[in-house]
């Protein structure tokens, strides 16, 4: 690598760090909103289904060795990671690409447009990881019945969380560039609800064998692979898809949505 190439890479690296710092400062100013957005949905579900209903003697039936909280725990971590990543990119990007063109100030940075798009995925991954860390104690300590975690490999767990964060950010980038700003709120409402309830968050994928057609259709939902992968890495005793299958499928989601998202981003910022 010659000196000119090294100099160019150094410029790109410094610009990327500067963009990440800018986004971090912006997030710090709205940390209350970030925390509220992150924990509200998982907290309410775990409080009602894993704490309140068991206390009332109305808990969701599971096997003798597994509490519903144990089954649900990885799914709610998956929700925190996946939807935090989508919202961290999709909603702000739709606003920035709107009539106000708030993104124009970053277009003067001395980096390729594709790197600006990649920075959004990287920063959303950081937010997804924070979301998982923030929601973990709530989901672990609130349930009325004990949560039994079985982590076969911390390396696989960390790697899968990182992959899930990257994939969720890429999905957010794709949605933020494809959907018109005035429709973004409605689209997120339409997408998030079915993705959550059909994303194997509250039940393992294998339990859908009683509805074979639905069991096949939900495989189109990327949240299924996040939920099942989290089960494989957090509660290995709960039936789950192979971690290899979940990783391969989520990697495909990352590649496809990144390509679509980056192309959409470049098309929108140039227009």
- The first and second tokens of residue 261, run together, are 């998202």
Domain total in the chain: 1
Please tell me the distance from the alpha carbon of residue 117 to that of residue 125, in angstroms, as a whole number: 13
Q: Please list the pLDDT of the chain residue by residue as tens digits (271 residues).
A: 566 666 667 766 776 777 778 777 777 777 777 777 777 777 777 787 777 877 776 555 555 557 788 888 999 899 989 988 888 888 778 777 766 555 655 666 666 777 888 888 998 999 899 889 888 888 888 888 788 899 999 999 999 999 999 999 999 999 888 877 677 667 767 888 888 889 999 889 999 999 999 999 999 999 999 999 999 999 999 999 999 999 999 999 999 999 999 998 888 777 6
User: Angle 198-204-207 (CA atoms, 0-180°, nearest 5)?
Assistant: 90
Q: What is the pTM of this model?
A: 0.86
Of 162, 188, 163, nearest to 174 by C-alpha is 188
CB proximity list for 269: less than 8 A, separation 6 or greater: 97, 103, 107, 113, 116
Tell me the longest C-alpha to C-alpha distance in the chain: 70
Please tell me the distance from the alpha carbon of residue 215 to that of residue 212, in angstroms, as a whole number: 5
Strand partners, 150: 235
Please tell me the distance from the alpha carbon of residue 158 to that of residue 230, in angstroms, as a whole number: 10
Please tell me the distance from the alpha carbon of residue 223 to that of residue 230, in angstroms, as a whole number: 10
- The first and second tokens of residue 258, run together, are 């990144």
Domain span at residue 11?
3-270
Give yes or no for a contact between 142 and 55, defined as CB atoms under 8 angstroms apart.
no
Please tell me the distance from the alpha carbon of residue 91 to that of residue 138, in angstroms, as a whole number: 26
150: number of Cβ within 10 Å: 13
Give yes or no for a contact between 224 and 218, defined as CB atoms under 8 angstroms apart.
yes
């Amino acid at each position: 690598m010659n000196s000119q190439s090294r100099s160019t890479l150094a410029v790109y690296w410094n610009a990327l760090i500067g963009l990440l710092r800018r986004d971090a400062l912006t997030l710090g100013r709205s940390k209350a909103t970030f925390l509220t957005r992150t924990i509200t949905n998982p907290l309410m579900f775990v409080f009602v289904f894993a704490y309140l209903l068991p206390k009332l003697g109305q808990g969701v039936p599971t096997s003798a060795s597994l509490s519903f909280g144990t089954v649900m725990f990885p799914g709610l971590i998956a929700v925190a990671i996946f939807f935090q990543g989508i919202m961290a990119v999709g909603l702000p990007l739709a606003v920035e690409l709107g009539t106000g063109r708030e993104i124009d100030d970053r277009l003067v940075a001395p980096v390729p447009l594709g790197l600006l798009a990649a920075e959004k995925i990287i920063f959303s991954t950081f937010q997804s990881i924070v979301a998982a860390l923030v929601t973990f104690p709530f989901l672990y300590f609130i349930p009325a019945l004990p949560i039994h975690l079985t982590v076969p490999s911390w390396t696989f767990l960390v790697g899968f969380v990182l992959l899930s964060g990257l994939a969720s950010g890429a999905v957010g980038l794709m949605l933020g560039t494809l959907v018109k700003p005035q429709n973004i709120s409605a689209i997120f409402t339409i997408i998030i609800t079915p993705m959550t309830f059909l994303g194997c968050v509250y039940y393992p994928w294998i339990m859908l064998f009683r509805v074979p057609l639905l069991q096949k259709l939900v495989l189109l939902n990327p949240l299924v692979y996040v939920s099942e992968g989290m089960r494989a890495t957090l509660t290995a005793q709960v039936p789950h898809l192979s971690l290899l299958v979940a990783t391969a499928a989520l990697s495909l989601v990352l590649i496809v949505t990144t390509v679509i998202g980056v192309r959409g981003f470049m098309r929108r910022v140039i227009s």
